[in-house]
Copies of this chain bind each other. A is one copy, B any other.
Amino acid sequence: MRYLERPSPLSKITDLLSQIRPIEDVLTIPTWDAAGFVAARDVVMPHDYPPRPRAAYDGYAVNSAETPGEFVVVGSILVGQYREARVGRGEAYYVTVGAFLPEGADAVVPEEAARREGDRISVSRKYNAYDNVDPPGAYAPKGAVLVKKGQVLTVFDVVALLDVGVTKVRAYRRPKIAIFSTGDELIKPPIDPDEAAELVLRGKVIESTGSLVEWYIRNYMPYVEIADRRVMGDDNEALKKAVEEALQKVDAVIVTGGAGPSEIDHFYKLGFAGIRGFRMKPGRPTSVAVVNGKVVFGLSGYPISALHGTIRIVEPVMRKMANVVAGPGNGWVYATLAADVTGELAQFVRAKAEYKDGEIVATPLRTKHHSFTDPDASGVLLIPPGGAKRGDKVLMLLYRDPRDMGRWFA
């Protein structure tokens, strides 16, 4: 399979996907290290959070039934303090945001709304149960699904899970990949910049294709672990040995360079059966072979062509191997609002994003608290002061992949 006379359509990759073995190993990962991993089970709340009523404002914890009225401040509970305490009739505790309320209290009077003299406060209006309070389970009730199986955990998920006390998750082992950049012409930084420039003018090439592929994988495919990265020459035997050794340790190998049909190209000389050449431009010589359930990719030595091959071919194959159902997004996009968002203030609102006819349609999610715990949320909307209307375009910081991967090979 030396020449590229009949490159395959991209849709051919779907045949190959059926030969890919998804990773089955499941690990327990501390949540703070879990960004980029793929949830192997639905992540379900093991308890209510907060486990008991929690102050949502700095002020005085009271029994709402006694408002309006006068109270004696008998103590204070600061966030992070855990204290067995209760308010008796006519008593209040000073609490700070996030503190658990003492027994008997069900509302918080904001500090600036109470008139205090010495250890006495006067509250001039009626408060209701749970005013300025997060009731038990308000952030997430026991049994709630926080992350769905197959979702790639993002930094937002990590924050949300830690917030409600979910400190470990069951995740698939990430497939390991090796990236071998090949070419006798390659020089590898760091070297003296002036010397490097001189070498480029004499025909050498500063290695950057592997760097670009690595950058894309780190940013858009964090569910893949880059286990090895080398810059090598064009020696076919050395490459063959390196690839075969790598396949003992990793799940996939990318070879950049040597993808063409020339005498010095080496990818075809590796002799792997697979698909060689796709109907794409640039990156026509992009190749892929399945070897005992593992995968070897051949990418162009040109950065832009290699990146195209990574996106079109490497990414869908590795998503399959990594068990990805919903990839990570990152980036600012303009989304079309599916509902009005009212309010005078500049707002930051979680939303569900859906792809519809080439637009990201964002449905704001109604959450009164500060957490992110909603597996349907896929980003945060930046709403200008004064609010925004249904149909308006607003900026959205996405943390799930906005792309319609279902149409990937169309």
Contact = CB atoms under 8 A, between A and B. Distances in A.
A6 to B, nearest CB: 12
Given A159-B303, A190-B30, A206-B167, A360 B348 contact: no
Interface in A65-111: 76, 78-82, 94, 96-100, 111
Nearest to A360: B334
Interface in A320-361: 329-334, 336, 343-348, 350, 355, 357-360
A184 B346 contact: no
Contacts of A9: 385
Nearest to A404: B395
Given A219-B330, A410-B384, A348 B281 contact: yes
B32 A206 contact: yes
A330 B331 contact: yes
Contacts of A372: 303-304
A271 to B, nearest CB: 20
A155 B348 contact: no
B189 A304 contact: no
B159 A197 contact: no
Interface residues of A, number: 119
A284 B81 CA distance: 25
Given A80-B184, A346-B281, A348-B283, A155 B332 contact: no
Interface in A388-410: 392-395, 397-398, 401-403, 410
Interface in A280-312: 280-284, 301-305, 307-308, 311-312
A408 to B, nearest CB: 9
Copy total for this chain: 2
A99 B260 CA distance: 14
A163 interface: yes
B163 A208 contact: yes
B333 A278 contact: no
A398 B331 contact: yes
A208 B158 contact: yes
A255 to B, nearest CB: 16
Given A260-B97, A304-B370, A280 B347 contact: yes
Interface string A212-237: 10010001100000000000000000
A132 to B, nearest CB: 13
Contacts of A47: 201
A196 interface: yes
A350 to B, nearest CB: 8
A308 B165 contact: no
A263 interface: yes
Given A197-B166, A264-B96, A333 B333 contact: yes
A269 interface: no
A262 B97 contact: yes
A332 B331 contact: yes
Given A312-B346, A334-B359, A206 B162 contact: yes
A203 interface: yes
A246 interface: no
A291 B296 CA distance: 56
Contacts of A302: 370
Contacts of A159: 208-209, 211-212, 303
Contacts of A82: 202-204
Interface in A352-392: 355, 357-360, 370-372, 380, 382, 384-385, 392
Contacts of A193: 30-31, 167-168
26 contacts: A30-B189, A30-B193, A32-B206, A79-B205, A80-B183, A80-B184, A80-B185, A80-B203, A82-B203, A96-B260, A97-B260, A97-B262, A98-B205, A98-B301, A155-B211, A162-B206, A164-B200, A281-B343, A281-B347, A304-B348, A304-B350, A307-B380, A311-B348, A331-B333, A332-B403, A334-B358
